[in-house]
Amino acid sequence: MTITLMNKDIEHVKVLIIGSGPAGYTAAIYAARAGLNPVLYTGAQPGGQLTITTDVENYPGYPDGVMGPEMMEDFRKQAERFGTQVRYGLVTQVDFSKRPHRVTVDDSVQIIADTVIISTGASAKWLGLESESRLNGRGVSACAVCDGFFFRGQEVAIVGGGDTACEEASYLSNICKKVYMIVRRDELRASQIMQKRVLSNPKIEMLWNHETVQVLGDEEVNGVELKNNLTGEHKTLPVAAFFVAIGHQPNTDVFSGFIDMDESGYIQTKPGTTRTNVPGVFACGDAQDNIYRQAVTAAGTGCMAALDAERFLAEYELA
């Protein structure tokens, strides 16, 4: 339905999904099958982080693995098959102060929505190296759990000094021959228990006071050039993969001031649900998950968000 207000057309939808990826598309599939006619805006990166991922082998239903972009295309087609309107656009402003909620897309398109599902995801933080970007998906990764399997039995490197880096280094040590942990300072920022775990692991070698100069390789990673911050000395480390574990940034800035978040910007949801502090607004996927950050868990919360939205609409007789 479209209404006119102050000479501007404003579209009114039951379920507005902000962001694509496994969470957004799964929410769309469930909402569409429930007859809620969802509208989904893809955001700046249609399909999310999986579109820059090569082989995906840990998602159920793909016994031979699948390329990330192909997988997201399958998700999109399935959502559209049931009637989801998938649109390209970036939400640039929201007003959740009253219902129905008001959303602005690309600074111009006005939408009011009875329910909103946030699935904007989180972006990995990178070092900013040209070689890091060029070899992304070809030995450079920001997810050891996702991609470590491809380098089992080989020597790899991981950069970072927090809990995430320690967790991923520990994970890699179970499947890789050796793990070099590159830390730019002379100490870790991780919790004591995580520090003890990596420092006592014979398969993890700590490289203190080192920074990455560049990732080496033409078609795939074959090493990394490091600089010793104390001596200025450069050295080359032959490795098959380079993992970046310096954190993630949730894509949630546009919701600031309306939605409760933790200190890192992850949306806080009611335990066991996808409900936020704003009635009728739900959050799923990596935008509210700073622990698992997997495609399959994102899809699961996307399902939850659609079901929560459906129940909300029924409760308020808006379905």
Tell me the catalytic residues.
143, 146-147
> SS3 of 108, please?
coil
CB-based burial, 302-314: b 16+ in 10 Å, e otherwise: bbbbbbbbbebbe
**Which residue's structure tokens are 């000395």?**
233
Read off the DSSP letter of residue 305. Answer: H
Read off the DSSP letter of residue 136. Answer: B
Q: What is the DSSP string of 199-220?
A: HT-TTEEEETTEEEEEEE-SSS
Geometric angle at alpha carbon 263, from 261 and 267, rounded to 5°:
20
> SS3 of 16, please?
strand
- Is-contact 209 228, C-beta < 8 A? yes
Helices and strands of the chain, counted as H and E runs: 7, 20
- Print the SS3 string covering 42-99: CCCCCCHHHHHCCEECCCCCCCCCEEHHHHHHHHHHHHHHCCCEEECCCEEEEECCCC
> What Å distances lie between residue 111 and 16, 24, 55, 92, 104, CA to CA?
9, 18, 37, 12, 6
- Is-contact 139 55, C-beta < 8 A? no
